[in-house]
Chains A and B, each alone.
Chain A
């Protein structure tokens, strides 16, 4: 998985609780992304980062926040989880020198009950 570790791999939580997912890379790539994958929707971008402390919203950012305090770590936080956030979450990394190819972590399966 190209030196990308996501944790946890599985999580079950209750509506209204905060949840943080972690993405850790050992490739020193500049760009990092969080996606969610739901049946019939492919991968949809939640947030992305183009450097330490530099982040921006993707197409489905409502209800999510991110932080990147180090090159290697990109955190995704659900401040108050809802059932609609039940999904599989993927982290990806990219470096501009490779033409924009993104490499993906193994994913986190999140269930919000």
Chain B
């Protein structure tokens, strides 16, 4: 399997649930990203990991918790979310972090009820 794979594709969760989003890249890249995409808004960078070390946290609420166990896998742990957190969550990877294009997965469509 090639590219960037995200699971699940769709997720519905209540405000008190705990769930995790998973991302796996098969491109040999060393940087991984979480982005949030909401309707009518630009993509928002959430977290960046480079060589498994978190290098950027873009003022994201603590109810979102990332984890990068190795350079191929990235998780986003979710707990006590709000309805306004409903969005498409996109994972991406790149070779290095400067001037390198991002390669995106197809995202997880999250609905918080």
Partners in one complex: no
